[in-house]
A and B are shown apart, each in its own frame.
Chain A
Amino acid sequence: MLLGKKKIKASPDIPTGALPDIVFLLLIFFLVTTAIDTEKGLDLVLPPSKTDEIKIPKKNIANLLINAAGAVLIDGEIVEIRDIARIIKERIQDNPKLIVSIKTDRHTKYDVYIDVLDKLKKAEARKISIADPEEN
């Protein structure tokens, strides 16, 4: 009885003709799932918690208060929101060490706060401090 000679009839290669199609399919999947639009917004670095209170001379602070109705006060004077950038810019030119301290009411709209922050960024104010909102 002769057992020898295995008959290899199936070709040993993997067919690669459909490879580009498969890769295309994967490519389309990743194209669809990728969200390219990155999130945009206003940057701010918060002060660390539990720091010792640093005494800052009063002349280096601009107090900016926003009340619940959205009115803005800079050092006791009522100002329009669109004038903030100009006023703060002038004050920073006079005193580069100026720190802008924003204080809001608990009922101030977030929209107004962002608007004011945007204006401060426009005035190139680097030192922005955020005080706790007033309770009432």
Chain B
Amino acid sequence: MKLTRKNKVMSGIPTASLPDIIFMLLIFFMVATVLKQYSGLKVKLPDAELVKKIPGSKRHVVTIWIDSDNQIMCDDYKVNEIAELRNVLYQKRVDDPQIIIALKADKNSEMGIVSDVQQEMRKADALKVNYSARRGVF
């Protein structure tokens, strides 16, 4: 008795629509990408338990870094005098009224400077703040 396999089902995935699928993925990533990214200052973030993601798009996030040597940076701008921060933040708020400040302060920095920055934020009417922290385990 002879056994022959019947290969009638066509093997092979149809690749005709592959470019379309890739195009869709491409468009998704193009829309989702925010190219604006700043290197900032080197900080060690504190740990917290109840960390939440910043709501909304990354486009509205303005980052302020405070490092352990009391240097301040706001996005790409190096703040030398703390009073400058008010104008910088005010300008950013004029450009985009719904900004959220991500405050990336070093865990070893002191409250004095953090509070000074907060006062400037209040004067610039940028009130939504998010203290950046790592999710710590307690």
Contact = CB atoms under 8 A, between A and B. Distances in A.
Interface of A: 19-20, 23-24, 26-27, 30-31, 33-36, 38-49, 66, 104-111, 113-115, 117-118, 121-122, 130, 132-133
B127 A48 contact: yes
A110 B51 contact: no
B61 to A, nearest CB: 7
B10 to A, nearest CB: 21
Q: Determine the main DSSP class of A at the interface with B.
A: mixed
Interface stretch (B1-9, B21-29, B71-79, B91-99): B21-29
B88 interface: no
B39 interface: no
Q: Determine the main DSSP class of B at the interface with A.
A: mixed
Nearest to B127: A46
A117 B61 contact: no
Given A33-B35, A39-B130, A48 B22 contact: no
A48 B128 CA distance: 10
Contacts of B132: 39-41
Interface string B105-138: 1111111101100110111010111111111000
A42 B130 CA distance: 5
Contact of B51 (A23, A40, A45, A46): A40
B29 A45 contact: no
Given A44-B131, A49-B122, 6 more contacts: A23-B26, A40-B135, A43-B128, A46-B122, A48-B125, A114-B133
